[in-house]
């Protein structure tokens, strides 16, 4: 499993190409040749870039869902809507398909934000707005998610 680190401000050109910062490209080097999957986020107005190996692990989990349950089929259909296989070209650029740019409201100013094993791709204004909206609640959220008794942090 790969763990990405960092948040990077970037620019998208008119064709939707984003030049990856060298620091992020270096982190991606072990998985660059395998390709990536780009999809809309379930919870936020952003895109998620999955290294192919991470995507395959997620698909194995989803493939175990009983397809004779309507809610499972509905979820899988919605989850996979607009999913694209993408590559980072030899110059370090990621081409974001037009339909996904539109879905995420991505303009010229872009933020690439690590989210453990994936990279979130945000319109910069949307990213800053979400950070601001969740700032007050973050301490409570951190305590709820990470502060359970019996959990040990290394």
Q: Check which CATH number belongs to the domain holding 18 and give it.
A: 3.40.1550.20
Residue 151 lies in a domain: no
Contacts of residue 149, defined as CB under 8 A and 6 or more positions apart, other chains included, come to none
Give residue-wise pLDDT tens across range 102-129.
999 999 999 999 999 999 999 999 999 9
Q: Provide the percentage of residues in the chain whose pLDDT is more than 70.
A: 96
Residue 127 lies in a domain: yes
Residue 20 lies in a domain: yes
Residue 1 lies in a domain: no
Instruction: Please tell me whether residue 63 adopts helix, strand or coil conformation.
Output: helix
Contacts of residue 9, defined as CB under 8 A and 6 or more positions apart, other chains included, come to 109, 110, 111, 124
The residues facing 123 across adjacent strands are: 110
Query: What residue numbers bound the domain in which 86 lies?
Result: 7-146
Give residue-wise pLDDT tens across range 67-84.
999 999 999 999 999 999
Residue 154 lies in a domain: no
Count of structural domains within the chain: 1
């Amino acid at each position: 499993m790969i763990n990405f680190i960092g948040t990077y401000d970037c620019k998208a050109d008119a064709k939707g190409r984003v030049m990856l910062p060298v620091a992020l490209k270096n982190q991606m080097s072990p998985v660059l040749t395998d390709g990536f999957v780009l999809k809309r986020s379930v919870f936020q107005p952003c895109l998620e870039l999955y290294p192919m190996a991470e995507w395959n692990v997620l698909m194995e989990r989803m493939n175990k869902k009983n397809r004779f349950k309507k809610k499972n089929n509905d979820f899988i259909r919605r989850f996979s809507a607009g999913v694209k296989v993408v590559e980072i070209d030899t110059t370090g650029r990621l081409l974001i398909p037009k339909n996904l740019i539109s879905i995420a409201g991505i303009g010229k100013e872009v933020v690439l934000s690590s989210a453990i094993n994936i990279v979130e791709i945000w319109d910069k204004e949307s990213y800053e707005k979400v950070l601001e909206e969740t700032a007050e609640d973050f301490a409570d959220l951190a305590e709820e998610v990470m502060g359970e008794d019996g959990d040990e942090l290394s």
